Amino acid sequence: MKNIRKQFPVLNHYIYADTATAGLLYDGLFDWRQEHDLDVLIGGKKLNAKLAKIVADTRGTVAQFFNCNLENVALVPNFSIGFNLLLEGVGKQEKVLLIKGDYPSLTWPFKSRGHSVSYLEITANLEEQIYEKVKSEKIGILALSLVQWLNGFKIDLEFLKTLKRDFPGLIIIADGTQFCGTQAFNFKDSGIDVLGVSGYKWLLGGYGNGCVLFADGVADRFNCATIGFNSARGNLEGRDQITFANRFEPGHLDSTSFGSLNHSLKFLLGIGLDVVNEQVVKLSKLAFAEFGNLGLLQSELLEREYHSTIFNLSLGEKQYAKLMQHRVLCAQRGDGIRLSFHFYNTENEIEEIVDLLK
């Protein structure tokens, strides 16, 4: 891991505890982007086929990374755009269940379209509450983040499988932006119907790229009218053969942005998602114990068996200024200070933060 850290110049100057805001740029991706732009500068229009292949290769890498059928992968500039396109095809008769305080790009689109929405508060037994709510109120759509952006609350992935098994008519829509890139994830076996991800955080893809994955058969529950020439892959006769996923790609996609995502997914696969997750789990357990001992974590988190590497500490402006003064890059979110750690962080960095807070 020490050699991998050398790829990230920011780590030479700061303790970067803010991947929940944006993942770091690294040397390998920087080099790839420079080479790509130089090719475009010199090659011009001759490169059109090559640039199209970059996007196609990205789609294939996404399918491999998440174990999703290739024809069910849509490339989108970010989660928010993909999600709004999806909801254009959702009937308002569906009862929707959301988590209070979840990411606004997940909750606001339902409210702006006038859907009937119920909310659940985050508690230690959130999964039990969801199950009972779906059962008692005949919920049609459950939409939630796999990891909550404010405090790092992580949903039990096995629970989602059980929920889908017991309520096969329920549509489960998940935002994986604060989760994907921290461990291996088998979409086909997840119980999730629609997974949306922005690539600029834990996937290290930079801005302007993301994906939406669809389970087989989920298209029957949506009526998506979005369309464009790129949806037919430039085939003038192909308008009536457009797949559901292709409707989310109506126009040309940026080869730089999606090539960056492709490069970073391969970078993570090269490290090994098991290696990434091993380090993430170590950091999560250490930070959870240390911050918990300082009395800085919310009570609903302390009763959970597992947690992500995102923590919202009950601290104010003074402590935030102190952390920033000591080169700890973090964020103010909600009523506290949010710290988030990826595989390129170390236990020593967490201990240094704890010493500062003490």
Query: Do 13 and 84 reside in the same domain of the chain?
Result: no
Residue 348 lies in a domain: yes
Query: Do 180 and 321 reside in the same domain of the chain?
Result: no
Q: pLDDT at residue 216 above 90?
A: yes
Q: pLDDT at residue 228 above 70?
A: yes
| 336 or 114, which is more confident | 336
**Bridge partners for 16 per DSSP:** 329
pTM for this prediction: 0.94
Mean pLDDT of 322-341: 95
What does DSSP assign to residue 358? -
The percentage of the chain sitting over the pLDDT mark of 70, rounded to a whole number, equals 99
Query: Do 68 and 109 reside in the same domain of the chain?
Result: yes
Q: What CATH number is associated with residue 73?
A: 3.40.640.10
Query: Do 254 and 118 reside in the same domain of the chain?
Result: yes
Q: pLDDT at residue 3 above 90?
A: no
Query: Do 185 and 324 reside in the same domain of the chain?
Result: no
Query: Do 58 and 186 reside in the same domain of the chain?
Result: yes
Range of weakest confidence among 104-108, 129-133, 180-184, 236-240? 236-240
Residue 305's pLDDT band, with cuts at 50, 70 and 90, is confident
Domain membership of residue 300 as a residue range: 2-28+272-357
Query: Do 244 and 310 reside in the same domain of the chain?
Result: no
Query: Do 221 and 277 reside in the same domain of the chain?
Result: no
Query: Do 103 and 212 reside in the same domain of the chain?
Result: yes
Domain boundary among 270, 291, 309: 270
The per-residue pLDDT for range 28-55, each reduced to its tens digit, is 999 999 999 998 888 766 677 788 899 9
Looking at the structure of the chain, the number of domains it has is: 2
Domain boundary among 255, 270, 285: 270
Q: pLDDT at residue 212 above 80?
A: yes
Phi/psi of residue 339, each to 5°?
-115, 140
- Burial label for 358, CB within 10 Å (0-12, 13-18, 19+), is exposed
Q: What average pLDDT does the structure give for the chain?
A: 94
Q: Tell whether the torsion through CA atoms of 49, 51, 52 and 56 is positive or negative.
A: positive
Query: Do 51 and 16 reside in the same domain of the chain?
Result: no
Q: How many angstroms separate the Cα of 247 from the Cα of each of 14, 28, 225?
A: 42, 32, 8
The per-residue pLDDT for range 120-179, each reduced to its tens digit, is 999 999 999 999 999 999 899 999 999 999 999 999 999 999 999 999 999 999 999 999
Query: Do 103 and 227 reside in the same domain of the chain?
Result: yes
DSSP, collapsed to helix, strand or coil, labels residue 312 as: strand
